[in-house]
Structure 1
Amino acid sequence: MRPVSPWQWSPLGLLLFLLCCSCMGSPSPSTAPEKKAGSQGLRFRLAGFPRKPFEGRVEIQRAGEWGTICDDDFTLQAAHVLCRELGFTEATGWTHSAKYGPGTGRIWLDNLSCSGTEQSVTECASRGWGNSDCTHDEDAGVICKNQRLPGFSDSNVIEVEHHLQVEEVRLRPAVGRGRRPLPVTEGLVEVRLPDGWSQVCDKGWSSHNSHVVCGMLGFPSEKRVNTAFYRLLAQRQQHSFGLHGVACMGTEAHLSLCSLEFYRANDTTRCPGGAPAVVSCVPGLLYAASSGQKKQQQSKPQGEVRVRLKGGSHPGEGRVEVLKAGTWGTVCDRKWDLQAASVVCRELGFGSAREALSGARMGQGMGAIHLSEVRCSGQEPSLWRCPHKNITAEDCSHSQDAGVRCNLPYTGVETKIRLSGGRSRYEGRVEVQTGGPGPLRWGLICGDGWGTLEAMVACRQLGLGYANHGLQETWYWDSGNITDVVMSGVRCTGTELSLDQCAHHGIHIACKRTEARFTAGVICSETASDLLLHSALVQETAYIEDRPLHMLYCAAEENCLASSARSANWPYGHRRLLRFSSQIHNLGRADFRPKAGRHSWVWHECHGHYHSMDIFTHYDILTPNGTKVAEGHKASFCLEDTECQEEVAKRYECANFGEQGITVGCWDLYRHDIDCQWIDITDVKPGNYILQVVINPNFEVAESDFTNNAMKCNCKYDGHRIWVHNCHIGDAFSEEANRRFERYPGQTSNQIV
């Protein structure tokens, strides 16, 4: 599509155009635009979400109907003209593809072409008013300089400070109905306007409106509410109404995207015959207001989960992954928007989406990309119900993985925990608030058993992301006036939203070391690493080697053989070794660094370099029922960047006492032919087994996700040969597929000799 230029006009039209230009002279920029006849009858405003008062989707009212502008051929010059129409001095940027949300109604202008010096948008070339082949997914927006034109006063501009500026919503519980636990799920709707909090008139209030409000507050759905009580209550109270005429379709991610009408400041007839709008929301499973609700919801049959979030540092955010044919994969960010993101959030038990993230903002996935060009209306119960395009490897890459940030209910858990004594707000001794019938008090947590998983929960509760370290001794941090230990025996899985949800001792405190110096501490971080094993490489490189004992002296010194090797007839005989390569990728958003500092690294003479981690990976052979029959006694590891993705530079290497670690976007390769990269299976009897590899098994180093640290393979050993197949990351399959995990290879397995 191209703009209509004067050179495409008829000869008569071109002559008139030239005569007009000669009369007008060359236009020049103006700081106070003069009213032109062409702009009479037009009104302008900024709309959409999220935005500031000087940016948004451009909307024009013509003939009493509001409409938008298509982004085809839109430029910064056109944005300059529109910003001046809105009373700003100039534009600093413009947006395309409905960044502030799709509008409604007509698309008034398409192929808008301005030089930037026009005094009115009517002077710019276009396809003509109302002539467009665009959709609202192509609505244009502007970002104006936050500086007003001097003396600008134009009744044709709807003041953006008061238009669509509902940026926050809350529910106020009814007075006299008892103290409600958090989160608040029912109450009077209040919106924050520039002049404070106001209530909303319930005239014409619909379930669609309630659905949008609940989504903003972090709840996936709404339910009917008994308004009789609230109407009776309204007769006894005074109310301040600031908003009426709310009309949502129910698909909006934010109330600002609905059609809204605000009361004028001097309007004395506010909400006649009406009452404050009331909403009741249904919390997701994670946020059920009481244990009774949670048990009731859990008792309902749950279908297989087909959507999940990975890599987020806070609840309700992460890379979107979907389940297809029993395998998890990612979603391409093409055409990814708030509607699709909101479907994901509600499906997972959160509210609507705050942000639809693109460009792998939550880290890159690994493996399949299942969906692309997902187009949701916002009403779908699942992302899989939205129209989408199946994808091939050539269509998209993991650098385009889509993500979301969801609205969450306010639970107040962050007010029950704090840090003290640290050098920054991200570290310190953990203090928690406890108390039952008596007064609330702050106290410390016993350091016994406190580790990375417990620290992860504490950092999540604090809203500080991940845990770099969980500390059992905090003598170097001043505890201030708090010295009492009020919680002990804390054991977390790492997924809890607060320490209260972890197992811990009750009223009786049991702590081996009661001094304040031995209490729990954390060091938190907004980012973390995420290690993942390349499972296909294990399957491709596995083989058996009968290695003579005289070649294994170094390995024996490093305890890389089974215990029976000690009684072997050295140097005669051999050991049977299952060898394979392991390639460990860091797909997180922070480098993986060993927990130990250089001062405690160990020099290994056989390998000729320092090892920074004693336990980095476990190699095991298991029976189908999980009994361990052999293990790789790899003594310790040296971490380095063997290879990296394009445009990622290596940072770590083992040679010459170099820094050790794995950079984001790089991987550490342990080749099958190096010492100790094996499992000694000399004593293993023929049978069906599982080969299991676990990275960072003791959670010594923080990661954003520990569920993908294990890899499993089926293997069949007949005493001479071994077959290895079906290697996969522990959480790459669905739960059902994992339950069906084969215990022996089929006839089509790759035979490894």
Structure 2
Amino acid sequence: MLSCNIMNNRVLILFLSLSVTILSVSGFRMKLPSWNDVYGYEAIWNSPIKNEEKVNNHNTKENFSNTSNKIFKKQKLTNSKNHGFAENLMLIDGVAKNEGTVLINRHGKWGTICDDNWTLKEANVVCRMLGYPHALQATTRDYFFSNSEYDYLMDDVYCKGSESHLNACVYWTEHDCLKREEAGVICLNPEPIKWQYNVRNPLIEKLSPTEVKKMRKQIFWSEVEKLNTNGLHKIKVRVPHGGNRQVLTSSICIDNFRGAEANVACRSANYPFAASFSSVPLKNMNLTKLYPLVRIGHCFGNESRLEDCITFTDPNGVPCSNKSLGIVVNCTTVLADLEPDVQALEASAYSSMIPLFQAQCALEENCFPPSVYNLINRNRHLALMHMRRLLRFSSIIHNVGTDVFRPHEPPERWIWHACHM
């Protein structure tokens, strides 16, 4: 046990097995663990706090010149005459009014919330502020694809879940978050829903619900035509136009077309699997329209035809990132299928806490999230004692498919990494 005196504030520290336990701290605060980060957490020492600080529109700009001396405090949301709490919070980019990325107004500036430690407890507080009973889901990683240019105004929000306002929660006003880490919510809407189209519609930001509903009703027929004897097929669609007096031919937009959609296309051509798919210029496919007429929203993979998937069709063309390209699929009768041994994984999995200096190889291989490297840049010596939680396990992979598994790269081009060390 070691007794020391820091800035006239006595701190008792017990060292045991390379871990640090704070027995008593007078005048100091620590950042709470961010359990949203599965790798572990960090504790940050802060300067003494004499009185609880409040923030309102009349405060001067907060000055945090030294990141290691951040003050962890309860921030107060603005509640002035011009802005009520309903106006200080709103949701954007959701399909319905009860869901979306959370925007908060602080000091007259709108910004987003970083998703560190973002759980149902924090989401419940947001939903109650907006007049909903509770939250159905706390979304992370820019779930609604806002990709906004707003600054993060809150990070590591920590609520008990019973608060009526976010100002009763604890959080940081500085952050270490990157883009696409916006927090969002899906709140319970007690109002009945009359109808609902594809709730993860890729066109929601570009078209109105009326236009999307019309595109969902438009029929089309898909044809998967063989191009050669190697299993290569082109996908062609036929769309009626002008009261069915004319039939237009084109291809499918390359956006949102993935493995499940390729498997469905090959199944419609009497092949069990799709080995691969790629894009080709529409001008080489002998079509009447050189722009896509159909866009796939989502296939589950068990459909018989592409028409059975969630699709959007327009004889005048659908929104597409590249309107000059169509799709060809490589269909096959045999395919490798890798399956992990779940029992072996569960039997071998365990977690452990280690200091960063014992993970030097993993550090050099950039295996850790950016927050760790930011911590090292601020103070390398203290950072090496920073504890991280690692999940370790062994894996056994079985090939349950009908073909030999062949990696994309030959063994001589495989790269060894030390992320598991």
Say which structure, 1 or 2, has more relative contact order (CA 8 Å, 6+ apart). 2
TM range (shorter): 0.3 to 0.5
TM-score in terms of structure 2 length: 0.40
TM-score in terms of structure 1 length: 0.23
